Amino acid sequence: MSQSKRIAVIPGDGIGPEVIREAVGVLERLRETHGVELELTHFDWGADKFLKEGVSLPEGALSMLSKEFDAILAGAFGDPRVPSNQHAEDILLGMRRGLDLYINLRPVRLLDARLTPLRDRERADIDFVVFRENTEGAYCGAGGFLKKGTVDEIATQEELNTRRGVERIIQAAFDYARRHNRRRVTMADKSNVQRFGGDLWQRVFKEVAARFEGIEANHQYVDAMAMFMVQDPSQYEVIVANNLFGDILTDLGAALQGGLGLAASGNIHPGRTSLFEPVHGSAPPLAGKNVANPVGSILTAAMMLEYLGFDQASEAIETAVAGAIADKETTRDLGGSLSTTEAGEAIRRRI
Ligand SMILES: NC(=O)c1ccc[n+]([C@@H]2O[C@H](COP(=O)([O-])OP(=O)(O)OC[C@H]3O[C@@H](n4cnc5c(N)ncnc54)[C@H](O)[C@@H]3O)[C@@H](O)[C@H]2O)c1
């Protein structure tokens, strides 16, 4: 692939700039080794800009991103000087909603048997992806208070499930399964008690599954899935769930693969400018100390490359990361002694 892709890089706050610097270093290395041509443009959106200029997501940013860039690589947002977290919400939720990034894709892949808290597991036992619906569900902000602050207070919190929203996330999960030779898609819900939204998800799941011959459509209640993910994670290949359940299951997934420092994610609308970010936050106590684990960001860059069609380069990153971890060339959170920069270099050297 020779065509150059345009990437907006938004390092953000806290450890964001430190880990994104390492991910960018890996992308630069891939230019030499794999001919990956990327044009990177950095944006200084984050707490500093917000505090100085009162600007979080600049005006016109969304149309600029969607017209001028193929993908966005972001670090983390959140700063103790902004207790409301307003800028982080504006920037991250602004991009996820404003660009209609309806797929939250979270791979859960064990890169080294040592990293999982589960006993007697091999790498192949933990290798699945979660498709979390990213634009509606319980996070739509609908609801309200009656008699707030009184003993008779009533709070309602609504969940939004549109036919179109449910269908497109389930379709995306099956498309992924077909493209990646995965044979089973498991949907998690709570349709035994959530009778309306759950009913819609059930009907649509069966309809979509019927279009994918050869891929098993499996269903589990989300509480059972949380248990099975710990007892027998090897049964999962592709999981699809609504926003709330997906949020919870993917954190469990991050724990199974070795922790937040390793977890990568994509916020995707196929064919459009999509956003890739490590799962962890800005970890203010670690910021500026060159100790944060850059692997989550580096694997995020690998996901971005796969999205952009650079499959071999993406695989080369994963192999290099697994090699560095196997040789214990890691930061402290994984039991090593390397700095952020050294851990990034250990990966770059292996590409
Ligand atoms: N997507 C995002 O930008 C995002 C996500 C979560 C939290 N946040 C924000 O980040 C700030 C801190 O939140 P938090 O402390 O709850 O979550 P966090 O992910 O920043 O940190 C949680 C724990 O994980 C550890 N950790 C996280 N990333 C690590 C890494 N790369 N290497 C080593 N250790 C790592 C931290 O030391 C901490 O103990 C808050 O402002 C929060 O709102 C942002």
**Å from CA of 269 to ligand 1 middle:** 25
pLDDT (0 to 100) of residue 3? 72
**Å from CA of 205 to ligand 1 middle:** 34
Tokens of 189: 């819900």
Q: CA triplet 18, 259, 76: central angle to 5 degrees?
A: 35
Answer whether 189's CB lies under 8 Å from 199's CB.
Answer: no
- Which of the following is catalytic: 90, 102, 247, 307? 247
Tokens of 151: 């003993």
**Å from CA of 279 to ligand 1 middle:** 8
Mutate to test the pocket of ligand 1, among 45, 280, 286 (most ligand atoms within 8 A of CB): 280
Scored b (16 or more CB within 10 A) or e, 206-233 reads: eebbeebeebebbbbbbeebeeebeeeb
Measured between alpha carbons, how far is 126 from 204 in angstroms, rounded to an integer?
28
Q: Which residue has tokens 């619906």? A: 133
Nearest to residue 235, comparing CAs of 149, 111, 124?
Answer: 124
Q: CA triplet 171, 176, 177: central angle to 5 degrees?
A: 100
- Which of the following is catalytic: 44, 100, 199, 223? 223
Which residue, by CA, sits nearest to atom 40 of ligand 1?
78
Tokens of 313: 């380069």
- The DSSP element (H or E) to which 219 belongs, if any, is strand 216-221
- Helix-strand-coil percent breakdown of the chain, rounded to 5? 45, 20, 35
246-to-137, 159, 252, 305 alpha-carbon distances in Å: 10, 14, 10, 24
The yes-or-no answer on residue 247 being catalytic is yes
Rounded to two decimals, the pTM is 0.96
The yes-or-no answer on residue 251 being catalytic is yes
Q: What is the pLDDT of residues 87-98, one digit of tens each?
A: 999 999 999 999
Q: What backbone phi and psi angles, to 5 degrees, belong to 103? A: -105, 125
Helices (H), the chain: 16-34, 47-53, 61-68, 86-88, 94-98, 163-179, 197-209, 222-231, 243-257, 295-307, 311-326, 340-349
pLDDT (0 to 100) of residue 257? 96
**What pLDDT tens digit does each residue of the chain (351 aa) get?**
457 999 999 999 999 999 999 999 999 999 999 999 999 999 999 999 999 999 999 999 999 999 999 999 999 999 999 999 999 999 999 999 999 999 999 999 999 999 999 999 999 999 999 999 999 999 888 999 999 999 999 999 999 999 999 999 999 999 999 999 999 999 999 999 999 999 999 999 999 999 999 999 999 999 999 999 999 999 999 999 999 999 999 999 999 999 999 999 999 999 999 999 999 999 999 999 999 999 999 999 999 999 999 999 999 999 999 999 999 999 999 999 999 999 999 999 999
Query: What 3-state class would DSSP assign to 346?
Result: helix
pLDDT (0 to 100) of residue 141? 87
Q: Which residue has tokens 């984050």? A: 46
**CA count, 13 A, side-chain hemisphere, 109:** 17
What is the distance of C-alpha 192 from the center of its chain? 28
Residue 330's DSSP bridge partners are none
Q: Residue 298 burial (CB < 10 Å; 0-12/13-18/19+)?
A: buried
pLDDT (0 to 100) of residue 1? 47
Tokens of 242: 């609504």
DSSP per-residue letters across 44-86: --SHHHHHHHS-SS-TTHHHHHHHH-SEEEEEE---TT-TT-H
Tokens of 187: 């949907």
Answer whether 317's CB lies under 8 Å from 301's CB.
Answer: yes
Tokens of 169: 């996330």
Cβ atoms within 10 Å of 49's Cβ, excluding its own: 16
- Which of the following is catalytic: 125, 190, 221, 333? 190
**Å from CA of 225 to ligand 1 middle:** 25
Ligand 1 pocket, 46 CB below 6 A?
no
